[in-house]
Chains A and B, each alone.
Chain A
Amino acid sequence: MFQNKFHSGGFVFAEFAIALPLLILLMGGLALVGTKIFHASREQMTNYILESEAQYLMERVTQEARVAKSVKVTPLTKDTDKLEIHYHTGGADDKNEITVADIWETRFFIPHGRQDKDGQFYFANINAKRQDDGKYGHPITGSIPSEKPNFAPFGDTKITRFKFKRHGKILHVSLEMQSMEVVDEDKEPKKIRLNTAVFMPACED
């Protein structure tokens, strides 16, 4: 219905070619935006992994500390402490009777010391999973940096600050984590610092 009655077709290639430079320009623009989105997604993914790991570690520390019977903080370096949490736990006996046994358990939060590819010592992610061979791997990427020292898989993180302060039955936790992903050479690596406190109602010391 849009066709010209005098010749068989509507737009011909020659006519369409006039619009070609404009189309090329539009495609170029789209490709540029696409590249920007790719970089932004990389940055967003880096932030997401860093944020979720910091949140996960913070939740673990606060939930464990909440039920603590006693807490011991040992400074390791200027920015890093070792946290030791002792608590009671209940146990059921063999006759399937519910009894509360006075079992003491201890949970340690110690960042794993490690050397990076530049030979610098740092504290790796505390969530790192230990492999059968005793090496620590990244929980998300599954990488073991000691095996591939020159290769940092996407999303690796490290702890730059892990400090605790006691105020009576309150434990103040300060955690800073840094992404080992370099999204932009000109920018500083991404860091996240979370501060919180947890009340330990059963803490006796």
Chain B
Amino acid sequence: MIKALRNERGFLLLDVVLLTLITSFAAVVLLNAHPQAKNPHSTLKLTALHLADEQLAYLESFGDSGELQADSYPFLGESEDLVTENFSDEIPIEFSVTTRVDELGGNLYRAVVTVGWQAEGKDFEIESERTIRFVPK
């Protein structure tokens, strides 16, 4: 047996090191890919963007009826839209909407709507801006 092994060329240490490197590289890539594949935050971002659009639609209507002022506004849309189950059925996510309206001059206003939410212990936020024309009555 030992005689037989003595004539064996065998693997070099370099071969084993290279094999280990390739395998560990594959392991690192695969282990990182797994949590990335489960990312529900894009759905929440989409929901938040539509919520910001809802608020901006109400502000546009204020501008059209001559009621818009440079001020902060609460959420003007449907209150049940502030809670979503798009993240998961068991965990409803609540959105907070803050709005700031500034006068730009020339009957134009700039509205900035910030929608914030908390998921998996982290805070998220999106901001949507729109220039609104004020129609004086």
Which of B6, B37, B81 is A195 in contact with, Cβ under 8 Å? B81
Tell me the nearest residue of chain B to A168, going by C-beta: B61
How far apart sit A197 and B60, CA to CA, in the bound complex (Å)?
11
Q: Which residues of B contact A194 (CB under 8 A)?
A: 46-47, 50
The listed residue (B5, B23, B34, B84) touching A37 by CB distance below 8 A is B34
Assess A172 versus B78: contact at CB under 8 Å? Given A11-B10, A44-B39.
yes
Q: Complex: how many Å from CA A192 to CA B37?
A: 18
User: Other CB < 8 Å A-B pairs besides A12-B11, A199-B61, 6 of them?
Assistant: A9-B10, A19-B16, A58-B50, A169-B61, A198-B57, A199-B57
10 contacts between A and B (CB under 8 A): A2-B12, A10-B12, A51-B43, A169-B64, A191-B86, A193-B84, A193-B85, A194-B46, A197-B77, A199-B57
Chain A residues packing against B (C-beta within 8 Å): 2-3, 7-16, 19, 23, 26, 29-30, 33-34, 36-37, 40-41, 43-44, 47, 51, 54-55, 58, 62, 165, 168-170, 172, 174, 188, 191-199, 201
Question: Which among A26, A36, A44, A191 is the interface contact of B27 at CB below 8 angstroms?
Answer: A26
A37 to chain B minimum Cβ distance, whole angstroms, is: 5
Q: Please determine whether B60 and A11 come into contact, CB atoms closer than 8 angstroms.
A: no
CB of A8 to closest CB in B, whole Å = 6
Instruction: With both chains docked as a complex, state the minimum distance between the C-beta of B112 and any C-beta of chain A, in angstroms.
Output: 17
Chain B interface bracket (under 10, 10 to 19, 20 to 34, 35 or more): 35 or more
* A54, B42: Cα distance in complex, Å: 13
Q: Quick check: B77 and A13 within 8 Å, CB to CB?
A: no
Task: Point out the residues of chain A lying under 8 angstroms from B42, CB to CB.
Answer: 47, 51
Q: Would A201 and B60 count as touching, CB distance under 8 A?
A: yes
Q: How far is B28's CA from A15's CA once the two chains are assembled, in angstroms?
A: 27
CB neighbours of A54 from chain B (8 A): 46
Known: A12-B5, A172-B54, A197-B54. A47 touches B40 (CB 8 A): yes
Residue in contact with B10 in the complex, picked from A15, A37, A192, CB distance below 8 Å:
A15
B53 is an interface residue with CB less than 8 A from chain A:
yes
Q: Min CB distance, B30 to chain A, in Å?
A: 5
A196 touches B53 (CB 8 A): yes
Residues of B contacting A9 in the complex (Cβ-Cβ under 8 angstroms): 8-12
Q: Is B91 an interface residue (CB 8 A)?
A: no
Q: Do residues B5 and A47 form an inter-chain contact, with CB atoms below 8 A?
A: no
Q: Contact check, B89 vs A37: say whether CB atoms are below 8 A apart.
A: no
Cα separation A172 to B79 with both chains bound (whole Å): 12
Name B35's closest neighbour in chain A (CB-CB).
A40
